[in-house]
Amino acid sequence: MARTITTRKSGGNKGARKPYGKARVTKARVTKLRVTKLLGGKVVSKKAKPAKHAEAFKPDSRVLAKREPKLAPKLEPKLEPIGTRGVSGVAAHPSAAPILSKDDGTQKNKKDLAVQQVTVGADEADVRLDRWFRRHYPGLSHGALEKLLRTGQVRLDGRRARAAQRLRAGEILRLPPQMAMAVKPRPMRTTPDPARAAYLRELILFEDADVVAINKPAGLAVQGGTGIRESLDDWLPFLAREGGGRPKLVHRLDRETSGVLIIARTALAATKLTEAFRLHTAKKVYWALTLGVPKPLAGEMVHRLMKEGEQMVVRDHADAQRAETAYRVLDHAGRVAALVALAPKTGRTHQLRVQLAAMNCPILGDPVYAEPKAEAAAAFHESGAQKGMHLHALRLTVPHPRKGVIAVEAPVPKAFRQSLSALSLNGDTAARVEDEA
């Protein structure tokens, strides 16, 4: 087959096709002084006689650089693998593998550049897709995940997926190659501090392969925040089983509240326990020492709460959320103090503290909502009542992630019992716990 050379004058008119050589080059556009090599073929200007002068015509690259600076770099022949790019500039089939030089820095580990196929395990069934990524790739922002889903780079069983879609055991999750290089899972702490690990072991009330329940002391923050140097969330790796993942929080207690806190050790447990708290199938009982006696002595507190500044307040507003709590006065000292059992039916921020304050019976030692009764609190302290907020998560009953029910009770803290004794209040948990339920 004869090779055809196409030339064009600088004015833009097409030149005539002339046979030259054995191959064919089509749709190549060159100027009068352009000389390049395409797959071994030679292109010369129209004024040059191809058959006689092609080899002798070798323009100086410095002259080209001066006259045609954009064309100067193209004097060097381009070595491209056959099939990756045609001579007409059309990209080849994507299955053609590019040839990389040994020292160009583009060689990567094939495992890092490969698409990952992850099978959803039974312990991660019913987990939302975005939460799965949050657990395994905490450095990936939600916006970046949405883009991967929108462009189809992340798929479930070969189909496009949504961030809120819940996973099913056995599904195949496709992860794009960049996930392995750009976003790494949060590393586990493999060498826990012995002192903290031993302290946490002393707080455990119940544990198995799926969950662990502890008696959280007052003053320990559950999660970090402004002014908090260390929290229970930082200590969670100390509660991990050997070879297991990082335990996960499924509910919260205020920093100054003591008592039962349950933690999930597996993804399945985290999903089931979170659902139990969301659907209110988890039953909680709190004890509070109040400044004043609620009236009536038993009933239900129903308010609408919303946040104003750093506090929660009772407001009849469209943005306010309904809060419900059943309560019973277990014992009281005249009209000045009471031991109250509380069973919240909703889980609003500071719910028990705000509702008791709304009944003019704030919790003793509450640093935010007991300010109106600061003088009464000072008198109690002089009588032997201890400082600190007197709110204790006494009992928690929740369905086990696999089968049965978990019922855990946390002993009342020593300081709380000393305050009850100073005010001559009965704190016999064995006689009271059934009545509270």
pLDDT value at residue 251: 93
Assess whether pLDDT exceeds 70 at residue 46: no
User: What are the extents of the domains in the chain?
Assistant: 1-91, 111-182, 194-436
- Transcribe 107-171 into DSSP letters: ---HHHHSPEEEEPPGGGTT-BHHHHHHHH-TTS-HHHHHHHHHTTSSEETTEE--TTPBP-TTP
How far is it, in rounded angstroms, from Cα 434 to Cα 30?
94
pLDDT top residue among 405 and 68: 405
Cα torsion angle, 82, 84, 90, 94, sign: positive
Q: DSSP assignment, residue 188?
A: P
Least confident of 116-120, 226-230, 405-409: 226-230
Specify whether the CB–CB gap between 384 and 396 falls below 8 A.
no
Q: DSSP assignment, residue 16?
A: P
pLDDT value at residue 188: 44
Fold: same for 111-182 and 194-436: no
pLDDT top residue among 98 and 340: 340
Compute CA distances 172 → 77, 116, 155, 156, 380, whole Å.
46, 10, 8, 6, 62
Backbone angles phi, psi at 306, to 5 degrees: -150, 165
Q: DSSP assignment, residue 261?
A: E
Average pLDDT rounded to a whole number, residues 62-82: 48
Architecture of domain 194-436: 2-Layer Sandwich (3.30)
How far is it, in rounded angstroms, from Cα 45 to Cα 50?
9
Assess whether pLDDT exceeds 60 at residue 133: yes
- Name the catalytic one among 208, 210, 254, 319: 254
Which among 346, 337, 389 is positioned nearest to 367, based on CA atoms?
A: 389
pLDDT-based confidence at residue 17 (cuts at 50, 70, 90): low
How far is it, in rounded angstroms, from Cα 364 to Cα 386?
9
**b/e code 400-410 from CB counts within 10 Å (16+ = b):** ebeeeebebbb
pLDDT value at residue 65: 54
pLDDT-based confidence at residue 101 (cuts at 50, 70, 90): very low
How many degrees, rounded to 5, is the angle at CA 90 between CA 87 and CA 92? Answer: 95
- The reply to whether the predicted model has a pTM over 0.85 is no
How far is it, in rounded angstroms, from Cα 290 to Cα 273?
31
pLDDT value at residue 114: 78
- Transcribe 44-112 into DSSP letters: --TTS-HHHHTTT----HHHHHHH-TTTGGGGSPP---TTTB-TTS-B--TTSPPP--TTSS----HHH
How far is it, in rounded angstroms, from Cα 13 to Cα 16?
10
Which tokens sit at 326?
A: 């059943």
Active site residue 193: no
Position of tokens 């749709």? 27
Which are the contacts of 198, defined by CB distance < 8 A and separation ≥ 6? none
How far is it, in rounded angstroms, from Cα 325 to Cα 338?
17
Q: Write out pLDDT tens, residues 238-294.
A: 888 877 788 999 999 999 999 999 999 988 899 899 999 989 999 999 999 999 999
For the chain, the distance separating the N- and C-terminal CA atoms, rounded to the nearest angstrom, is 95
pLDDT value at residue 427: 76
Q: How many residues comprise the chain?
A: 437
Architecture of domain 111-182: Roll (3.10)
pLDDT-based confidence at residue 91 (cuts at 50, 70, 90): very low
